[in-house]
Amino acid sequence: MGQNIERRFDESMNGDNTTIKLNGGTYTGETSTGTPNGLGAWVHSDGQAYVGNWDNGNFDGHVALILPGGKKYVGECRHRQFYSSTARDPAEDRG
């Protein structure tokens, strides 16, 4: 994720956040009327994770999706669908 979204995410995680059960996983982040809205992170029990922007319960905007094997997709989503993304191998992150 870009530095701006990472900074905003870090700042939001230091504020008033809500943790809720969602689609077989746990969401922690900003909400509106009990629905993910704003910056947040969702983690499923199988290891899949999504970090980024949410709009009315759907991931939307600049996001990172991490799959159980560690493969990461970073890009743009609209209504839960990637339309621009880059896949990254976890070995690249270990330098």
2-29 pLDDT, tens digit each: 455 555 556 656 667 889 999 899 999 9
Distance CA 81, CA 86 (A): 14
Distance CA 7, CA 94 (A): 21
Cβ partners under 8 Å of residue 53, min gap 6: 5, 38, 39, 59, 60, 61, 62, 63
User: Has residue 37 got a pLDDT over 50?
Assistant: yes
pTM of the model: 0.72
Mean pLDDT on 65-82: 82
Q: What is the pLDDT of residue 14?
A: 61
